[in-house]
Amino acid sequence: MKTVYSPLHAGHAGQMELVTAAIVPGFEKPSRAEFIKARVESEKLGPIIAPVEHDLAAAKRVHRADYIDFLPTVWPQWVESGFQGSAMPFTWPTRGLRGDVAPKRIDALLGYYSFDGGATFVEGTWAAIKSSYDVALTAAALVKDGERSAFALCRPPGHHAGAGFMGGYCYINNAAVAAQWFRDQGAKRVSILDVDYHHGNGTQEIFYGRADVQVLNLHGDPMVEYPFFLGHADERGAGEGEGFNINYPMPFGTTWDAWNASLEDACAKLAAYAPDVVVVSLGVDTFEKDPISQFKLKSPDYPKIGQRIAKLGLPTLFVQEGGYAVEEIGINAVGVLTGFEDR
C-alpha cells in the first residue's frame, strides 16, 4: 500500500487549544504524523510519496466557499490585528443568535466558523491544512487509478469539520473531500466508515441529506463525550439521505468485543449498500492508553480492523484522523493497514 505524506504538516506546531477550563498545548501535534510515518517505513508498508498540489475546487464541493476562502486569511488577519498566541475564537453563534451575517473581526470570524476553541492557528497552520487536503486527494487518485488501497497520512485531521465550520483539530474534512471527489470522478456510491473514537460530526453534517454517500460512525456516546452535540443513534439522515447515516455510540470503557460487534454491523450495512469505493476515517484514539479517550482497544486489535475491512473486497482509501497516544499511534494506525493487507 502506498502512503501519501507531506512534511508541511510540521508547520502546524505549538498551537494552543481550549479544553475544560484551560488553554493548553494542542494534543494534536507533529510527532503524531512522524511516528506514523516511521512505522510505515519500519513495517515496509510500501512507498511513501509526496502529494500533488490541487486547487481548492474539490474542497468547495463539500464546504461553503466563503469558509474555504477564509482559512488562508486567518493567520495574516490575526497578526495584522495585533493579537498574540494561537488564533482562536471566544464566542460562538449558538441557538438564538444569527448565523447569516459574518462579522468583520478575526476573533469573531473564528467563532462564526467554528464550534469550539480546538481548531486554532499558528503561522504554518494553513500550509499544513492545504497539504493535508492535497495528501487526501493524491491518495484518492491512486485508488481511482486502480490501486486496491492507499493511505492518506493526513495531518491535521478532518472529520469534525462541517460544511461551514472547523473544530476539534479539524479544518478541511479530508475524508468528505475524497468521498465527493470519487463521486465526481464517476463512482455511483461511496461509503465513509469512521472508526475514530470521536463522532465525525462534520462528515455526518455534510452528507446528512444525501443517499449517494453512506456515512457509518463508531464512537463514544455523545451524551458523555465530545463533540456532545451530534452522534446519537437516532440520527439516520434526512430527506433523500434517510437511512444513509448510521451511528454506533458506545459507552466509556468499551472493549474489543463490543466495539467489534458494532464494526460487524457497520460492515454488513456497508456491504449491503454496495459502494464503488470505501473511505475509512482512520482514528486510533480508541486505544486503551489514549490520553483524551475512553475506549479500551489494544494494539493487537487494530490489525483485525484492517482484516475485516479488507473482507469487504472494495477499493479502500484510508484517511488518517485522530489518535493521541503518540508512542503507539504508528503501531496502531499501521496495524490497521498491515491487517488490511493480511500480513
Interface ranges with a second copy (CB under 8 A): 16, 18-23, 83-88, 90-99, 101, 103-105, 107-108, 111-112, 114-118, 162-165, 167-168, 201, 205, 222-230, 232, 235
- Per partner kind, with CB cut-offs from 5 to 8 A, the member of a second copy, Zn ion, none near residue 198 is Zn ion
CB atoms within 10 A of CB 101: 8
For the bound state, the minimum distance from the C-beta of residue 19 to a second copy, rounded and expressed in Å, comes to 6
Taking only Cα atoms into account, the Rg of the chain, rounded to an integer number of angstroms, comes to 18
For the bound state, the minimum distance from the C-beta of residue 202 to a second copy, rounded and expressed in Å, comes to 8
CB atoms within 10 A of CB 88: 23
CB atoms within 10 A of CB 264: 11
Q: Which is nearer to a second copy, 35 or 70 (CB)?
A: 70
- Per partner kind, with CB cut-offs from 5 to 8 A, the member of Zn ion, a second copy, none near residue 229 is a second copy
- The one catalytic residue among 159, 160, 198, 199: 160
* 3-state secondary structure (DSSP) of residue 47: coil
Q: Which is nearer to a second copy, 235 or 301 (CB)?
A: 235
Task: Give the separation between CA 39 and CA 53, rounded to whole angstroms.
Answer: 25
Closest CA relative to residue 319, chosen from 188, 191, 189: 191
Q: Which is nearer to a second copy, 36 or 215 (CB)?
A: 215
CA atoms within 13 Å, Cβ hemisphere of 288:
9
Contact between 51 and 6 under an 8 Å Cβ cutoff? The reply is yes
> Residue 298 contacts by C-beta under 8 Å, 6 or more apart in sequence?
256, 287, 288
Query: Interaction with Zn ion in 51-90: which residues (CB under 5 A)?
Result: none
For the bound state, the minimum distance from the C-beta of residue 211 to a second copy, rounded and expressed in Å, comes to 19
> Residue 96 contacts by C-beta under 8 Å, 6 or more apart in sequence?
none
C-alpha cell belonging to residue 291: 490520553
- Per partner kind, with CB cut-offs from 5 to 8 A, the member of a second copy, Zn ion, none near residue 322 is Zn ion
Size of the site for Zn ion (CB under 5 A): 6
**Looking at the DSSP assignment, which residues form a beta bridge with residue 191?**
214, 278
The amino acid at residue 227 is P
Query: Interaction with Zn ion in 187-226: which residues (CB under 5 A)?
Result: 196-198
Note whether 285 binds Zn ion by CB under 5 A. yes
Per-residue DSSP letter, 260: H
- Per partner kind, with CB cut-offs from 5 to 8 A, the member of Zn ion, a second copy, none near residue 285 is Zn ion
Q: Which is nearer to a second copy, 33 or 88 (CB)?
A: 88
C-alpha cell belonging to residue 43: 513495517
The H or E element spanning position 127 is helix 125-144
For the bound state, the minimum distance from the C-beta of residue 100 to a second copy, rounded and expressed in Å, comes to 9
Q: Is 160 a catalytic residue?
A: yes
The pattern of x and - marking residues 307 through 336 that bind Zn ion according to CB under 5 A reads ---------------x--------------
- Per partner kind, with CB cut-offs from 5 to 8 A, the member of a second copy, Zn ion, none near residue 272 is none
- Per partner kind, with CB cut-offs from 5 to 8 A, the member of a second copy, Zn ion, none near residue 196 is Zn ion
Q: Could you give the angle at which helices 301-310 and 326-340 cross, rounded to 10 degrees?
A: 30
Q: Which is nearer to a second copy, 83 or 311 (CB)?
A: 83
For the bound state, the minimum distance from the C-beta of residue 98 to Zn ion, rounded and expressed in Å, comes to 19
CA atoms within 13 Å, Cβ hemisphere of 119:
31
- Per partner kind, with CB cut-offs from 5 to 8 A, the member of a second copy, Zn ion, none near residue 162 is a second copy
Question: Residues 154, 175, 328, 293: is their CA dihedral positive or negative?
Answer: positive
**Chosen residue from 283, 315, 335, 339 binding Zn ion by CB under 5 A:** 283
Closest CA relative to residue 150, chosen from 318, 309, 36: 318
Q: Which is nearer to Zn ion, 129 or 143 (CB)?
A: 129
Catalytic sites, residue numbers: 160
The residues binding Zn ion (CB under 5 A) are 196-198, 283, 285, 322
